[in-house]
Amino acid sequence: MLNIDLTGRRALVAGVADDGGFGFAIAKALAEAGATVCVGTWPPALNIFLNLLERGKMDESRVMSNGALLPFEKIYPLDAVYDTLGDIPDDVRTSKRYRDVGDCSIAGVAARLVEDFGDHPLDIVVHALANGPEVKKPLIDTSRSGYLAAVSASAYSLIAMVSRFGPLMRPGGAFASLTYMASERVIPGYGGGMSSAKAALESDTRTLAFEAGRRWGVRVNTVSAGPFASRAASAIGIIEKMVAYVSANAPLPDQLSATEVGVATAFLCSPLASGITGTTVYVDKGYHTMGMAVETG
């Protein structure tokens, strides 16, 4: 039997703050395949996440196939908008949600990983991060600052993570991120520069695959997931409509599950995908293949 075997490998999944999104599903799939999993959590959501864990509110979703609960080896505060501690403004660093978490920049998490696990602590890094403060605004009405914030948090953060985590990867390492079809087709309501950010993310995936592949021998891929009604996606404001539309028009009409995205990502990060890099893999029930809507009347 051909199995995904990640025994002995360590993963960092950046962007896990609850059990309802793709980040959690990816972390669970990696653990099911045998990897140990660390997560990076946005500081404003960190205490809520820790409380959910401590109070057992996520125990049901953490149950794995062997009956054990999904363990997190380490939970790091991570704000991927900041490359170094010096980039964090003083008013943010001293604010209630940041002042006690230490260096939550990308470089800070890299240093903590080395301190905790040695010079080459990682085999897998998953970028499950996105934020667009003006996502509900049409692109034409998006401010410059809102657009740049979306690109910084959702696309440049991948570059920064590959730059700083790439040197920490062991042979055969893999990066994966999450994108969306708005990168290449118009999705009304998915605004604020997020479509531009996803397009940048996919372009950067190709370039990073070449540069990081030649420099450190690692792979870089992205998963284009279909719409999914996670808590984070509710910020878009039309997620239920998006899910229903895709279900009505995709080749496979059953709704996408987070688990399907999780296991596809685990495959991309495994030795079974050693020949795949610089690629956008669609996990959307085939919706991206459609050229027109299915007639409903």
- φ, ψ (nearest 5 deg) of residue 125: -130, 125
Longest dimension (CA), the chain: 62
Rounded CA separation 79/181 (Å): 25
Alpha carbons within 13 A on the beta-carbon side of 124? 34
245 in active site: no
254 three-class SS: coil
- What is the rounded distance in angstroms from the CA atom of residue 224 to the CA atom of residue 182? 10
Cβ neighbour number for residue 119 with a 10 Å cutoff: 9
Among residues 98, 156, 190, 287, the one annotated as catalytic is 190
d(CA 120, CA 45): 28
Active site residue 156: no
Residues 266, 4 contacting (CB under 8 angstroms): yes
Q: How far apart are the C-alpha atoms of 126 and 219, rounded to whole Å?
A: 12
State phi, psi for 124 to the nearest 5 degrees: -140, 135
* 180, 245, 282, 287: the active-site residue: 180
What CA–CA distance (Å, rounded) separates 73 from 134? 34
- Given the structure tokens 């009956």, which residue do they identify? 67
What residues act catalytically? 180, 190
